[in-house]
Amino acid sequence: INKERNCPMATRANIMITSDWKNFASAYCHWDGGLWCVGGMLEEHYNDTDTIMDLVALGDMSSLKETVEETATDERNAYKEQGGQVEMKTATEVFIASCGEEYLYVWDAKQEKWFVGTYYTSTPNWRSLKVAVQEFLAEVPEKTIFGEDYTNYGMAA
């Protein structure tokens, strides 16, 4: 994981919370949405339902910081003017392949656990975020982490 967290790259992600896998509160994150940054930060710093609800309640963000407060007060956060609008999605709206985002992170409030999927596959291929980050740190290729060779979707091998 990038310890400096200063690797601005337009790797887009959706950060969501659900308790039933039918309805989701969602926030878009524009920068560094991959396992190396947003994934690692969620796993390391966002591990309780109240904190994640506060994060998603901010609405869309340019980038994720180590705390909700830092994310909310970052002057470079281009989406601050959104006014706290939370996007709600149903299960059929959560995953749309090749939608422009690369990763989706879902906090399951009942299990109190993060899951990660990718939009580069034909299905999200949900994985435990903890396991996915560990595999990423062990330099396992992402196409192996998510269980599908998605080089045809435009992702680097």
- CA–CA separation, 22 and 40 (whole Å): 25
| Rounded percentage of the chain residues whose pLDDT exceeds 90 | 48
**Rounded distance, CA 13 to CA 48, Å?**
20
Position 8 pLDDT exceeds 60 = no
Looking at every residue in the chain, the average pLDDT score rounds to 83
CB 58, CB 72: distance < 8 Å: yes
Q: What is the pTM of this model?
A: 0.84
pLDDT interval class at 79 (50, 70, 90) = low
Q: How many CB atoms lie within 10 A of CB 59?
A: 20
- Token output for 146: 């998510």
